[in-house]
Amino acid sequence: MSFEYIQSALAARHAEGLLRKRIVVEKASASKIKIADQQYINFASNDYLGLADSLEFNTLACTEAGSRSSALVTGYLDIHRQLEDKLCSVLGYDAALLFPSGFAANISVLKALFTPQEKQLSAAVFQDKLNHASLLDGGLAGSAKFVRFNHNDLTHLRSRLEKTKADSKLIVTEGVFSMDGDKAPVSEISVLAQSHSAWLMVDDAHAFGVVGAQGLGTIESGIKPEILVITFGKAMGCQGAAVLASHDVINYMTQFNREFIYTTALSPIMASVALCQLNKLLAASEARHKLQVNIDYFKSLVAQTNLSLIPSDTAIQPLVYGSSENVLTAQHKLKEKGLWVGAIRPPTVPQNTARLRITITAQHSQEDIETLVSALVEGA
């Protein structure tokens, strides 16, 4: 019978404690969530600054629902240009392209850079082993040699670069890693890249808005990657993504990035929302300060316990339980105490590193954090 593997694959996932299920959320904010008529304290949100909660529609520059076509036909509207120009001005780039999601941006940029017609030109892409699936998939889909280096291991990356004979070399990393919460050593990676005539691409999804005094992420470290990806669905609290680079790179993407060429352009109303949210994010210094206070408070409380977090100074604070069964048990205990925390299991994270991915936001109160730490200790 055709597709017999579907049922067996689902059965295997269920047996391994890895079966994913969608959960209907009735109402949510950065710190609260309502599911099945039950209210929980939310420690699973990427809305780090709490900007997704409300929007004044009368402030939007455009309220058109659809762009009606791809950006290269009639879908590129003035509101798209305004958003791109603002991002370029803030982050110091020549040009930008908008995408409906960070996943679409990452995978399509890497596919386009290493298209089949460039195969004869000898290229290699070097990726951190803990990079997001969109980056790994993009690297695998291109024609360049795909090389992985150990997580944040500069010595291993250097050895990989020294061994390659590729003419075109691209190093790819996340600014803040989505599952571990640690930062990439972008300054050191940039030095390595320059010394080996390589380019650097950084996915700043979990850094933009929250890392740096102004919340500009990698750029505030003084490093300007040749390619920077910004997503709007985390600290900006809306939807979409942008790729920022030189005029030549963006023009190349316009010619060869199939996802950009053949996809209906980002909805004008969503572009308008993103522009509004970007302005709010840039002015959110108080929220960034509150977020850092909350992160520090959470870590200080955990330090007084036997709990062992993966080292992280960001809003993402992972607590590893090892097996999927253990982390699901821990998640269930927290749920019974009115706490909602994401249980992350393979293949999203490596085998035997299933974890609670605790995310701290600016909206959490000290009482929220105290409740969480007490529940974690009781369930340990």
The residue among 362, 207, 356, 219 whose CA lies nearest residue 296 is: 362
* Percentage of the chain modeled with pLDDT above 90: 89
What pLDDT does 63 receive?
A: 79
What is the pLDDT confidence band of residue 380, given thresholds at 50, 70 and 90? low
Q: With the CA atoms of 105, 111, 112 and 118 taken in that order, what torsion angle do they form, in degrees rounded to the nearest 10?
A: 160
What is the pLDDT confidence band of residue 142, given thresholds at 50, 70 and 90? confident
Residue from 111, 132, 169, 280 carrying the catalytic annotation? 132
167 is catalytic: no
What is the pLDDT confidence band of residue 276, given thresholds at 50, 70 and 90? very high
Could you give the CA distance from residue 206 to residue 322 in angstroms, rounded to a whole number? 24
Reply yes or no on whether the pLDDT at 25 is more than 60.
yes
Mean pLDDT lowest among 51-65, 175-189, 341-355:
51-65
Residue from 169, 206, 280, 364 carrying the catalytic annotation? 206
**Three-class DSSP category at 63:** coil
Mean pLDDT lowest among 75-89, 109-123, 192-206:
109-123
Q: What is the pLDDT of residues 28-62, one digit of tens each?
A: 999 999 999 999 999 999 999 999 987 777 778 77
Could you give the CA distance from residue 141 to residue 202 in angstroms, rounded to a whole number? 18
Could you give the CA distance from residue 217 to residue 206 in angstroms, rounded to a whole number? 8
Could you give the CA distance from residue 225 to residue 245 in angstroms, rounded to a whole number? 8
132 is catalytic: yes
Residue from 47, 174, 182, 368 carrying the catalytic annotation? 174
325 is catalytic: no
- Quick one: how far is CA 41 from the chain centroid? 22
Mean pLDDT of the chain: 94
178 is catalytic: yes
The residue among 353, 302, 350 whose CA lies nearest residue 327 is: 353
Residue from 31, 42, 45, 46 carrying the catalytic annotation? 46
Residue from 47, 84, 182, 203 carrying the catalytic annotation? 203
Reply yes or no on whether the pLDDT at 337 is more than 90.
yes
Reply yes or no on whether the pLDDT at 208 is more than 90.
yes
